[in-house]
């Protein structure tokens, strides 16, 4: 079932009405305990349309897998599932989290929340097979040290191949070197309290500026939005600026991928807003004589249109935003989640329009992750749970 809601900037009132457009939902794959279960993170796609992602559990050691889903051959309907790597635990890594990012050479990079040399997590790489070969080459390129690890969320890759991400305490960078050596740098460590606590994955930016959120800390312990800039010369800690300190009414517990578009930031908070069911927010940079960033709630969730927007946002054409909630939808506040679309106002200071593209019923999935938007406007994503064995699914939504 499909709903449309509008939130008016002046009163922040949610209005529901039937949507003028529809979309088609298709479950393209069901996971199982034998081949991988509980997919995490946004998938990536290659030129042939194949999808790549991670499943948190399964394999002989129940440590997770990296998989490929190849689209159906002409005249067929079934996608082909291939396991590219099965994690063995220990030094090999255990429990992949977040999605994958793709480098210029086609290599895939991701993280495991634990495992590695000290069991504090890893960053890994998979290199596609050479011509005539079949196996992908897997390598742990970094093991997190004791005291600062447990990476979370998606990695960010910049124009020169540097990787950026977050642990439970800090923001890190991995820089490729000569041969197969990588250099790890801690860019900033959060001190808790007003400084922010619990940095989340899904950074935005590049080598000259990074934007992120912490799910807690700040003045009200509701989380912050921050900016990091590198030192003027040499290496060393980056300088942090708090762009917004959440107070609950304007959101609480920011999490998931940020979108940076035309100098503005967009993100989600899992809680807070009008009904304490989460928000989508916009951060506008300083303009004219203003010195600070301005935060605006562009949508507050109300349950039937979603609850707990935990995974951040995906950016589309013409400023359109896509995302998911892990609960809510057609079946109420504690439903099984939705995929939503937010369309920008058509007039200055007008409302953003929310379309519910799909409301999950548990049989077709439960707790959707952040979707990928391809060039044709099709969305691909996974659900962490649901389907017959509660092991998760992969889905497609066509406009």
**Using one digit for the tens of pLDDT, what is the confidence trace for 353-365?**
999 999 999 999 9
Measure Cα distances from 263 to 48, 231, 259 in Å.
32, 21, 10
Helix (H, G, I), strand (E, B) or coil at 39: strand
The pLDDT mean for the chain works out to: 92
pLDDT at 10: 33
Four-CA torsion 354, 346, 202, 94, nearest 10 degrees = 30
- The residue extents of the domains of the chain are 31-189
pLDDT tens for each residue of 272-289: 999 999 999 999 999 887
Single out the residue of 250, 248, 243, 247 nearest to residue 204, CA to CA. 243
What's the rounded mean pLDDT across residues 309-334? Answer: 95
pLDDT tens for each residue of 41-54: 999 999 999 999 99
pLDDT tens for each residue of 182-235: 999 999 999 999 999 999 999 999 999 999 999 999 999 999 999 999 999 878
Q: Would the pLDDT of 65 be above 80?
A: yes
209 C-beta neighbours (distance < 10 Å), count: 14
Is residue 379 within 8 Å of residue 397, measured between CB atoms?
yes
Q: Would the pLDDT of 8 be above 90?
A: no
- Tokens for 306? 């979603």
Q: What percent of the chain has pLDDT over 90?
A: 83
Is residue 263 within 8 Å of residue 207, measured between CB atoms?
no
Q: Would the pLDDT of 391 be above 70?
A: yes
Cα 211 to the center of its chain, rounded Å: 14
What's the rounded mean pLDDT across residues 237-241? Answer: 96
pLDDT at 349: 85
137 C-beta neighbours (distance < 10 Å), count: 13
pLDDT at 333: 86
Single out the residue of 393, 360, 384 nearest to residue 56, CA to CA. 384
What's the rounded mean pLDDT across residues 249-267? Answer: 97
- Tokens for 134? 């079949």
Is residue 115 within 8 Å of residue 68, measured between CB atoms?
no
Rg (CA), the chain: 20
pLDDT at 21: 53
CATH class of 31-189: mainly beta
């Amino acid at each position: 079932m499909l709903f449309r809601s509008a939130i008016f900037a002046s009163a922040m009132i949610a209005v529901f009405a039937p949507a003028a457009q529809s979309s088609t939902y298709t479950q393209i794959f069901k996971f199982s305990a034998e081949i991988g279960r509980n997919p995490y993170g946004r998938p990536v796609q290659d030129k042939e349309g194949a999808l790549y992602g991670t499943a948190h559990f399964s394999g002989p050691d129940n440590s997770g897998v990296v998989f490929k889903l190849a689209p159906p051959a002409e005249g067929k309907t079934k996608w082909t599932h291939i396991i590219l790597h099965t994690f063995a635990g220990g030094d090999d890594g255990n429990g992949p989290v977040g999605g994958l990012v793709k480098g210029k050479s086609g290599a895939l990079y991701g993280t495991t929340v634990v495992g590695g040399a000290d069991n504090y997590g890893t960053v890994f790489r998979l290199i596609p097979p050479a011509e005539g070969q079949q196996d992908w080459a897997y390598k742990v390129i970094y093991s997190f040290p004791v005291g600062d690890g447990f990476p979370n969320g998606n990695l960010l890759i910049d124009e020169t191949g540097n990787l950026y991400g977050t642990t439970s305490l800090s923001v890190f960078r991995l820089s490729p070197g000569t041969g197969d050596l990588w250099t790890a740098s801690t860019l900033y460590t959060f001190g808790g309290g007003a400084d922010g606590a619990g940095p989340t994955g899904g950074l935005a930016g590049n080598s000259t500026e990074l934007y992120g959120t912490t799910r807690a800390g700040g003045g009200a312990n509701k989380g912050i939005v921050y900016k990091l800039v590198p030192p003027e010369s040499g290496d060393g800690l980056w300088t942090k600026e708090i762009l917004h300190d959440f107070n609950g009414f304007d959101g609480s517990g920011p999490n998931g991928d940020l979108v940076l578009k035309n100098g503005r930031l967009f993100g989600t908070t899992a809680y807070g807003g009008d009904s304490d069911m989460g928000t989508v927010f916009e951060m506008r940079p300083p303009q004219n004589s203003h010195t600070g960033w301005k935060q605006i709630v562009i949508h507050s969730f109300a349950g039937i249109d979603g609850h707990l927007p935990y995974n951040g946002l995906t950016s589309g054409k013409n400023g359109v935003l896509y995302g998911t909630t892990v609960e809510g939808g057609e079946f109420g506040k504690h439903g099984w989640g939705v995929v939503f679309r937010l369309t920008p106002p058509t007039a200055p200071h007008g409302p953003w329009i929310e379309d519910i593209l799909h409301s999950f019923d548990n049989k077709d999935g439960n707790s959707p992750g952040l979707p990928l938007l391809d060039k044709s406007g099709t969305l691909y994503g996974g659900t962490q749970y649901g389907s017959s064995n509660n092991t998760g699914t992969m889905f497609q939504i066509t406009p």
